[in-house]
Amino acid sequence: MPKPLLKSFIAIAGLLFSLAAHAELLPKAHFLIPAGPGGGWDGTARGIGEALVKSGLVKDVSFENLSGGGGGRAIAKLIESAERQPYTLLMNSTPMVVRSLQKVFPQSFRDLVPIAAVIADYSVFVVPKDSKLMNFSDVVQAFNANPRSVKVAGGSVRGSTDHFIFARAIEMAGGDPSKVVYIAYDGGGKAMAGILSHESHLLSTGLSEAIDMARAGEVRVIAITALQRLIDAPDFPTLAEQGYALEFSNWRGVFAAKGLPPQRYLDMMETIESVVATPAFEAVRRRNSWTLQLKQGDDFYHFLEQQELEIGTLMRQLGFLRPLPPSGQ
């Protein structure tokens, strides 16, 4: 075969291989987001959706924000609409485990089909740019003097991840976690507005929910719950370097309703596995300073079981859950 024809053949073969690798396994994907716009769930769902479209893995991607019931309203809709909307993916994260333990809603991850954990987002403590709180030691000092002088905003209900992570940090600093004044907002966007309006003094949230405002200079990140500074966000000090070795990252992932045909279950998992390997997703990940944390199928399910055990223990220690009765009772 002449070299020009051979080169053309190789180019065409490569193109066909690329198209086959990115063939659509799902005709559509509808992301159900259990909170209002602007928060971590919303940003993660839309970021994954953006990567799905740009990579050609799924062309028809839609989003639905449905807040209420601490996330329970969205879970109920996923279950109830499974036959009408068979390609729905519920976005969720650690708060699903927290709120099921608290009985905020009757369901748990066991009532759904875990598809994949996709990313992890470290928690951060954020203050307005003109705040007198310059670091976490300032927060502890102000809190010990008057707990009401440090009103903490969060994008979810009392006892949620945003709440108990801050309470845990206060406990590690020798304070009383039961005295934390926590103000619950409907999503991270409204919680951010709460500190910008000085209705609250400090925001406990995920890094990705605060990073754009921090980069714009509107707020300051005074602590992140990582043991070392992040490569994608090197300017943000860790709690550990300030003397409090608290490490926590909030996974975010997707679930489907039970009764899923086996092939669709496999197609959903393969689609998520494929999208996280694309340049489109890597661009979204870096933009949000997420940590990739892909767990699928049984691995994801066992991870959830272990997290439920660990978080339940921590929440009982902090007084957010009633102690378990002695064995045999």
Full domain range(s) for residue 83: 26-121+249-317
How many domains does the chain divide into? 2
Average of per-residue pLDDT across 210-217: 94
- Side-chain-side CA neighbours of 262 within 13 Å: the count stands at 0
- Which of 14-23, 115-124, 167-176, 269-278 is predicted with the least confidence, judged by mean pLDDT? 14-23
pLDDT at 15: 40
Q: Which two tokens stand for residue 25?
A: 């396994």
CB 89 within 8 A of CB 32: yes
Residues 237 and 179 in one domain: yes
- Confidence band, pLDDT 50/70/90 cuts, at residue 4: very low
- Confidence band, pLDDT 50/70/90 cuts, at residue 23: low
- State how far the Cα of 327 lies from the Cα of 88, in Å rounded to an integer: 41
Cβ neighbourhood burial of 256 (10 Å; 0-12, 13-18, 19+): buried
Average of per-residue pLDDT across 20-34: 83
Residues 253 and 311 in one domain: yes
8-state DSSP, 51: H
Mind listing the pLDDT tens digit for each residue in 292-309? 999 998 999 999 999 999
Does pLDDT of 319 surpass 90? no
> End-to-end distance of the chain based on CA atoms, in angstroms?
81
Residues 67 and 172 in one domain: no
Residues 221 and 154 in one domain: yes
Angle between helices 94-101 and 297-318 (to 10 degrees): 50
Residues 171 and 282 in one domain: no
Q: Among 208, 242, 276, which residue terminates a domain?
A: 242
pLDDT at 40: 87
Residues 192 and 179 in one domain: yes
- State how far the Cα of 313 lies from the Cα of 141, in Å rounded to an integer: 28
**Length of the chain measured in residues:** 329
C-alpha 71, offset from chain centre: 13
- Which of 29-33, 174-178, 239-243 is predicted with the least confidence, judged by mean pLDDT? 174-178
Q: Count other Cβ atoms within 10 Å, centred on residue 138.
A: 15
- Dihedral angle at the C-alpha atoms of 225, 164, 291, 234, nearest 10 degrees? -30
Mind listing the pLDDT tens digit for each residue in 241-281? 999 999 998 999 999 999 999 999 999 999 999 999 999 99
Q: Which two tokens stand for residue 246?
A: 């608290």
Q: Which two tokens stand for residue 135?
A: 């670091």
Residue 180 is assigned to a structural domain of this protein: yes
Residues 216 and 132 in one domain: yes
